[in-house]
């Protein structure tokens, strides 16, 4: 029987979602918790990967078990998991349902606070200098929907079969001092969102023009793009099936 787990996590203390040697990951914590409950090795498969320090308000994973689970299983799982990982629900799906391969799209938000706020230090990048031009950044963001190859914004040493992604939404919204970038695509490359945000901010601060932004995308060179903004402002917010 196959079950899906819907969860969220504060990524501050984790080296991303995926298990890696000698570091702590969210996937490892889930595996350990499930294996403890069932007294045998259980391995979960996630809907995707988040990098070190990145948060998730909505993440899915699946695992297989031979017996039906009780309605309060999520409660049991949360009792074992650390407090910065929370399971919302665990539910039965078809045996061939796959958390990663059946996902149609993924959405991220990048949160910036214009000014200083001690209560948001772990969940936003705080900019204390000038305010970026949101109109210019939204004009540049719309261009992302015209391209499919995003090698420019990919981490250089990464093993992928293609740099193509279908971006279906990309825009900024500002509410007071809170500035948020929203982006949705069928898939994302490593470091892609953070590199896009850094480059769009270069547009907003007048360091590059809209035309420069187009040429940066078309160059397919990470060296031409902007900085990779801090991970703490990035959230995986929605996965569509």
Structure tokens at 18: 């995926």
Largest CA distance in the chain: 59
Query: What is the pLDDT averaged over residues 164-174?
Result: 98
Phi-psi region of 34 (alpha: psi -120 to 50; beta: other; left: phi over 0): alpha
Which pLDDT belongs to residue 129?
Answer: 81
**Cα separation values, 219 from 28, 66, 137, 212, 215, Å:** 38, 51, 19, 10, 6
Identify which of 128-137, 140-149, 156-165 has the greatest average pLDDT: 140-149
Which pLDDT belongs to residue 204?
Answer: 97
Asked if the domains at 2-93 and 105-240 fall in one CATH topology, the answer is: yes
Summarize pLDDT for 54-64 with one digit per residue, the tens.
Answer: 999 999 999 99
51 is catalytic: yes
* CA–CA distance, 199 with 208 (Å, rounded to integer): 9
Under the banding of pLDDT at 50, 70 and 90, the label for residue 115 is: very high
- Among candidate residues 51, 84, 96, 122, the one labeled active-site is 51
| pLDDT surpassing 80 at residue 161 | yes
Which pLDDT belongs to residue 160?
Answer: 82
Domain boundaries, the chain: 2-93, 105-240
Pick the CATH number of 105-240 from 3.30.70.660, 2.40.50.90, 3.10.150.10, 3.40.47.10: 3.30.70.660
Give the position of tokens 């809170």. Answer: 178
CATH class of the domain whose range is 2-93: alpha beta
């Amino acid at each position: 029987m196959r079950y899906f787990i819907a969860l969220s996590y504060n990524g501050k203390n984790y080296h991303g979602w995926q298990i890696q040697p000698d570091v702590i990951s969210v996937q490892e914590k889930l595996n350990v918790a499930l294996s403890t409950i069932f007294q045998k090795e259980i391995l979960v498969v996630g809907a995707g990967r988040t990098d070190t320090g990145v948060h998730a308000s909505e993440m899915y994973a699946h695992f297989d078990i031979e017996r039906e689970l009780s309605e309060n299983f999520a409660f049991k799982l949360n009792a074992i998991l650390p407090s910065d990982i929370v399971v919302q629900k665990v539910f039965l799906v078809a045996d061939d349902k796959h958390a990663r391969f059946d996902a149609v799209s993924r959405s991220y938000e990048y949160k910036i606070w214009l000014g200083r706020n001690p209560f948001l230090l772990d969940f936003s990048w705080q900019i204390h200098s000038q305010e970026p031009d949101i109109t210019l950044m939204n004009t540049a963001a719309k261009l992302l929907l015209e391209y499919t190859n995003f090698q420019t914004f990919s981490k250089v040493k990464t093993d992928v079969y293609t740099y193509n992604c279908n971006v279906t939404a990309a825009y900024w919204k500002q509410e007071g001092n809170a500035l948020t970038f929203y982006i949705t695509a069928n898939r994302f490359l490593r470091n892609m969102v953070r590199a896009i945000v850094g480059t769009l901010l270069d547009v907003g601060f007048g360091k590059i023009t809209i035309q420069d932004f187009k040429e940066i995308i078309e160059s397919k060179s990470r060296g031409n793009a902007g900085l990779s903004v801090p991970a703490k402002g990035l959230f995986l917010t929605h996965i569509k099936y």
